[in-house]
Amino acid sequence: MSSPHVELAMMAISEYLQVGNLPGLPNDVPGELLETRAGAFVCLKRDGQLRGCIGTIEPVMDNLALEIMENAVSAATRDPRFMPVQMRELDGIVCSVDVLSPSEEVHDIRDLDPKRYGVIVESGQRRGLLLPDLDGVDSVDQQIDIARRKAYINHADQIKLYRFEVLRYD
């Protein structure tokens, strides 16, 4: 059985695809999701391939339940890398929800570990984020490079690094 986090994300996507707007909070949402505020990423895969992934570094909604629902719908319908998910695809979608800890600045890349920590690379107004423990990302340099590319940050640009941990639900 999947976690309440994933069930909430999938319910939000299904309802949105059926009626065209975000549903209200269900009555059976666990209290922890209503009492917590945190950034969260919702990632969707189909046949083992990424199908959408959108999230927030810091909370923008009133609670984690709303954060998950909003990001789930965005991952399914607003990820610019993919066409929107169609209702007929939902049975084949596998969802994961990552709840982010507050980020902390890192001054030495030896304090990073791509299996344990996600990374945020910042240069001016641009920020790129990469979640931890992703298939094919085995080194800190790889992790930083991918996050740079996501934010269009040049290798010549000065950067600040931040790390965070996640609780992953799938």
Hey, what CATH topology would domain 104-165 get? Dna Ligase; domain 1 (3.30.1490)
Residue 28 to residues 4, 50, 61, 70, Cα–Cα distance (Å): 9, 29, 19, 18
Q: Where are the beta strands (DSSP E) in 31-152?
A: 40-46, 49-55, 93-100, 104-106, 118-123, 126-130
Residues of the chain with CATH 3.30.1490.150: 104-165
Q: How high is the pLDDT of residue 120? A: 97
Q: Where are the beta strands (DSSP E) in 11-151?
A: 40-46, 49-55, 93-100, 104-106, 118-123, 126-130
Q: How high is the pLDDT of residue 140? A: 97
The residue assigned the tokens 């990469």 is 130
| DSSP bridge pairs for 127 | 122
Q: Is the Cβ–Cβ distance between 42 and 56 less than 8 Å?
A: no
Hey, what CATH topology would domain 4-100 get? Glycoprotein, Type 4 Pilin (3.30.700)
Q: Among 55, 63, 69, which residue's Cα sits nearest to residue 7? A: 69
Residue 5: burial class (beta carbons within 10 Å; 0-12, 13-18, 19+)? buried
> Radius of gyration of the chain from Cα atoms?
16
| Predicted model pTM | 0.92
Instruction: Give the mean pLDDT per block of 10 residues along the chain (170 residues).
Output: 90 96 91 96 96 96 97 97 96 97 96 97 96 95 96 95 96
Q: How high is the pLDDT of residue 1? A: 56
Residues of the chain with CATH 3.30.700.20: 4-100
Q: Among 80, 81, 63, 68, which residue's Cα sits nearest to residue 13? A: 68
